[in-house]
Amino acid sequence: MSQELRAVDWTGTGLTLIDQTRLPHRTETVDVRDVDTLVDAIQRLVVRGAPAIGAAGAYGVALALIQGEREGWSEARVREAVARIREARPTAVNLMVCVDRVMTRFTEGLDAVLEEAAAVQREDVDANRAMGGYGADWLLKKAGEDRPLRILTHCNTGALATAGWGTALGVIRELHARGRLEVVYADETRPLLQGSRLTAWELVQEGIPHYVQADAAAAGTVLRGEVDAAIVGADRIAANGDTANKVGTVGVALACAYAGIPFLVAAPTTTVDLSTPTGDGIHIELRGEDEVLEWAGVRTAPAESRGHNPAFDVTPGRLVTGLVTERGVLEVSAGELPGDRLR
C-alpha cells in the first residue's frame, strides 16, 4: 500500500473521502462540498476512525466558511454548522478536539483555518509514525524472544482510520518492516465488519500474512496461546486509562489479562480526554437497530425482536498493559496514568 494513502484529502474547495462503506470490493470516493454531506459521511461511516474523523472535522470548519460565503450565511449560522460537525459522532473525542483547535483561528479567516487544519492532518501522520516505533520497541522488549510476533487486532486502525499510516496498525506495519511479524489475527468486527473489510484490505496491500476471524473466536485464540499480544486503537481515553474502542474490545482485553499477554492501546494524545476522569463519563453511541437485525438489507431476526447496537465498549484501565502515544508508552495497568503523565 502506498504510504500516501489518505482517507481524508482537501482539494482546495472541499474534501475527498475514501468511501469506506464500499471497501474492499469497490474503491470509490465521495466529494464533500457542504456541511450536510460531511455530517452524513461521518454518521454513515464513509469516513471513520477517530483520527480520520478529527481531520475531516478540522477541514469541516473551512468547508462551513466556504459554504457560508457561497450561500450568504451569517457568522452565527456558520458557527451552528460547525457545531453540527463537532457533534456528528459523540464518542470520538478527536472530532471535538480538532474542531475546537481549528475554531481558535476562526476569526482570522479561511486561510488561517486551512493552515490549522493542515497542521492537524500533518501532526497526526507524524504522531502515528512515532507510535509505530515506540509500540514496536515496547512489544519486542516485552516478548523477550528473538522471533517474529503473532498479533491480534480488533476493528480498523490503519491509514483508513487516520490521517495516514495508522495507530495500532501502524505498530503492526513497523513490526512487519523490521521482519519481526509472523501473522496477524484480524477480528471481523461485527456488525459492520471493519476488520474483515478494511483491516484485511490494508494488510493485503502491505503483503502482511493474516487471518480474519469471528469476534467470538478472539478469546479462544488468545487462551490457546496462538498470539503474543493484542493491539487496538481508541476513540476516547479517560484520565485513569479507561479506554473506549469498538464494541468487542473489552472481551479481547479480558482474555489477554487472563492469559498474561500484553494488551496495547495505540492512540494519539488527542484521543486522551483529561476532562473525563473515568470511563463512566464516556458517552457510548447507540447505532441503528437494523445493523444487527438485518444482513445486506434482509431481515435475519424475528420481526418482534429489538436490536441493541452499542458502537463502542469501555475497557478498564487496569486491563491496559500499555498505552502508546506519540510521546512513548505508559504502562497503565502498572499505575502510569494518562492524567498524571500527559497534562
Catalytic residues: 235
Strand 29-32, strand 294-295: pairing: unpaired
Nearest-angstrom CA–CA distance, 58 and 117: 5
DSSP-derived letter for residue 63 is: H
Give Cβ neighbours of residue 139 (< 8 Å, ≥ 6 apart): 149, 171, 175, 228, 229, 231, 262, 264
Q: Where are the beta strands (DSSP E) in 80-228?
A: 149-153, 181-187, 210-213
Residues found in the chain: 343
- Max Cα-Cα span within the chain: 64
The 3-state DSSP class for residue 278 equals: coil
Count of alpha carbons within 13 Å of 287, Cβ hemisphere only? 21
Grid cell at residue 215? 469476534
Give whole-number Cα distances, 198 to 65, 244, 312, in Å: 32, 20, 18
Bridge partners of residue 325, in order along the sequence: 328
Question: What nine digits make up the cell of 218?
Answer: 478472539
CA distance 334 to 138: 15
For 281-331, give the DSSP string. Answer: GSPPPB--THHHHEETTEE-S-TT-----BSEEEE-GGG-SEEEETTEEE-
Q: Are 99 and 42 in contact (CB under 8 A)?
A: no
Q: Which run of H or E residues covers position 220?
A: helix 218-223
Residue 44 CA to residue 21 CA, distance in Å, equals 8
